[in-house]
């Protein structure tokens, strides 16, 4: 099946019934082990029927399938979808400050209805996430009428404000958009308005299609390609600003404990352990990933890590290089 640059690879039957919790996650060649840790954490903390749509580039299709079939994950329900980066031509400029943020898979979240998935609602999660709660609870949240998605607002966690300030993390639109540009001024969005993080969200596919969200997101990517209205040198890379523009004042707020984030923003700014124990989902957004060193709270990630059967994905730990 081919649709707007996405092709499906079919190792399992597609699950389309309402009792299924569909989860979309990307698997890049160099970070497949991270994706598998996320999947492991999800299935280990729920009794619900989860179906994983694992989106990858052609070079990693076999890697992802081997990782699943040769480990304890072999019983999961999944389908591997191949993303064709050609859909991004004329929409994304190269930038050297954080090349990982320009990985084509970072933009999969823009194209959810084009993945050929028939569910009315889906969950999208980044690969640097661990789920400690029951994913069914996230899936069952109530979205407000007319909202195509639910995100966690960047002003929703009082307990993180001190930490966020200490590491200079942006929590407002000013950190993502260039307010000197006319196109940005014309949006009339208050620069101090709280941003949100698009690394974890619940999407209503019918509403997404009705509002033509993908088309709107592409328009802002193209606008930036021409005008540089945001910069990946800013806080969240180039995948975040279009989402902030398109969903401004049009999203339902997630329970903050379903997206405890900024764990990867500093090598030493830590949360209280008791707070993290009660969190339903942890996100190491930022450059300090828990499979590398230095990083904080790596133990909470590593408990879900499944060693790569091919030996390609390895952990970097203090003093050992990698093991």
Nearest-angstrom CA–CA distance, 252 and 241: 18
Distance CA 288, CA 295 (A): 5
Q: How far apart are the first and last CA of the chain?
A: 40
**Using CA atoms, how far apart are residues 16 and 28, in angstroms rounded to an integer?**
26
User: Residue 322: its pLDDT value, please?
Assistant: 47
pLDDT for residue 1: 37
Peptide bond preceding 294: is omega within 30 degrees of 0, i.e. cis?
yes
Alpha-carbon distance of 269 to 166, in angstroms, equals 8
Quick one: fold of 21-303?
A: Spore Coat Polysaccharide Biosynthesis Protein SpsA; Chain A (3.90.550)
pLDDT at 96: 52
253 contact partners, CB below 8 Å, separation of at least 6: 150, 151, 152, 153, 156
Q: Regarding beta strands 2-3 and 6-9, do their DSSP bridges make them parallel or antiparallel, or are they unpaired?
A: antiparallel
Distance CA 226, CA 246 (A): 18
Question: What pLDDT sits at residue 14?
Answer: 47
Which residue has tokens 């060193």?
Answer: 293
Q: Where are the domains of the chain?
A: 21-303
Determine the 3-state secondary structure of 31 from DSSP: helix
Enumerate residue ranges in the chain where pLDDT < 70: 1-18, 95-99, 101, 157-169, 231-237, 320-323
Distance, CA of 57 to CA of 40 (rounded, Å) = 21
């Amino acid at each position: 099946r081919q649709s707007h640059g996405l092709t499906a690879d079919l190792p399992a039957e597609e699950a389309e019934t309402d009792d299924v919790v569909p989860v979309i996650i990307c698997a890049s060649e160099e970070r497949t082990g991270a994706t598998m840790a996320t999947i492991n954490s999800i299935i280990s903390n729920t009794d619900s029927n989860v179906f994983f749509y694992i989106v990858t580039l052609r070079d990693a299709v076999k890697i992802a399938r081997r990782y699943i079939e040769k480990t304890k994950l072999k019983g999961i329900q999944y389908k591997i979808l191949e993303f064709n980066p050609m859909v991004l031509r004329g929409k994304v400029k190269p930038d050297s400050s954080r090349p990982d943020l320009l990985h084509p898979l970072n933009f999969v979240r823009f194209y959810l209805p084009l993945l050929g998935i028939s569910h009315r609602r889906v969950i999208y999660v980044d690969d640097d996430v661990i789920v400690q709660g029951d994913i069914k609870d996230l899936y069952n949240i109530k979205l407000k009428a007319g909202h195509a998605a639910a995100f966690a607002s960047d002003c929703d966690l009082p307990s993180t404000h001190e930490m966020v300030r200490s590491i200079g993390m942006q929590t407002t639109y000013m950190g993502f958009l260039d307010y000197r540009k006319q196109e940005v001024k014309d949006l009339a969005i208050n620069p101090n308005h709280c941003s949100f993080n698009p690394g974890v969200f619940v999407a209503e596919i019918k509403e997404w299609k009705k509002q033509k969200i993908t088309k709107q997101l592409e328009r802002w990517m193209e606008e930036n390609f021409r005008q540089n209205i945001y910069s990946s040198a800013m806080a969240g890379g180039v995948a975040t600003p279009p989402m902030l523009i398109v969903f401004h004042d049009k999203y339902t707020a997630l329970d903050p404990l379903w997206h405890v984030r900024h764990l990867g923003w500093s090598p030493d700014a830590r949360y209280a352990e008791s707070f993290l124990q009660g969190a339903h989902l942890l996100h190491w957004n930022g450059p300090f990933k828990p499979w590398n060193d230095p990083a904080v709270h790596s133990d909470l990630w590593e408990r879900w890590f499944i060693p790569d059967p091919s030996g390609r994905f390895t952990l970097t730990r203090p003093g050992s290089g990698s093991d």
